[in-house]
Amino acid sequence: MKNLVTSFWLIFCISVLLFSFGLSWQVNKSVNFTYPMWYQVLNIDAHISKYAPQNKYNKQDFVNTNKSQHIDLFEQVVVSINNQGENLDNISYQIKNKSKPLFTQSEVIHLQDVSNLVDTLRLVWLVNLLPLILLSLLYIQKRLYMPSTKLKVKTLIVSVLVIISSFAIFGFKKIFYYLHTAVFPDDHQWFFYYQESLMSTFMKAPDLFAAIGVNLLIVAVIIFSCCYYFINIQSIKNSTLNQ
């Protein structure tokens, strides 16, 4: 019986976590993943100044664009990947009243792959609402009982240690690259040198993606904590009313 209680609780926690990350994505998307802030923190302007003049596809003049244009371009990418990749191949930068395509065809294909992944994760998020709602109701109505506080703490500690150990042993970059090989089609380019890609240059990959990961995690933890607290409070209220 104890194992069954623990199993349901773990499924519930994973479901709440998926829900939290989905909402976190929406929150971060609405603020352009705080790109303007990370632009300053990661010195992306200096990064562009160094690598844009080395571009191999006759886009060296990107170095003459400014911060406001970079922020706008990033926002256009965010909008596109969240809308089935719409207009990815039309995103362009302005130089002396002339428009130049921002991405090569390989970059457009990769960003379309990213958009497809976002669509798949959105579907997973929607399907996840079913077990989330069902288990939440069961816990609130006391049809299911939470495991002991001791077990909760032990599970949390083990989970955190596994995550920290993974990043400490392999590093963010290796994990980031491995996930790309596992998720994206083998015949599609996903690694781009700064000298061949304005996408990698003005996003300062993978540094910016590590920063975005921090954004997503912080907001997801806050949402997770609020959801878990709300369900516990409702469960206690129902328990009090039934006494």
pLDDT value at residue 2: 66
Q: Are 80 and 90 in contact (CB under 8 A)?
A: no
User: 44-83: per-residue pLDDT in tens?
Assistant: 999 999 999 999 999 999 999 999 999 999 999 999 999 9
SS3 178: helix
Q: Are 41 and 204 in contact (CB under 8 A)?
A: no
Q: Are 146 and 9 in contact (CB under 8 A)?
A: yes
Q: How many domains does the chain have?
A: 1
User: 20-45: per-residue pLDDT in tens?
Assistant: 999 999 999 999 999 999 999 999 99
User: 5-15: per-residue pLDDT in tens?
Assistant: 788 888 999 99
Q: How confident is the model at residue 166 (pLDDT cuts 50, 70, 90)?
A: confident
The range of the structural domain enclosing residue 89 comes to 2-241
pLDDT of 161 over the 90 cut: no
Q: Which residue has the higher pLDDT, 186 or 51?
A: 51
How many residues does this entry show for the chain?
Answer: 243
Compute the mean pLDDT over every residue in the chain, rounded to the nearest whole number: 91
Question: What Å distances lie between residue 76 and 22, 58, 87, 109, 145, CA to CA?
Answer: 20, 22, 9, 16, 46
* Mean pLDDT confidence for 135-164: 82
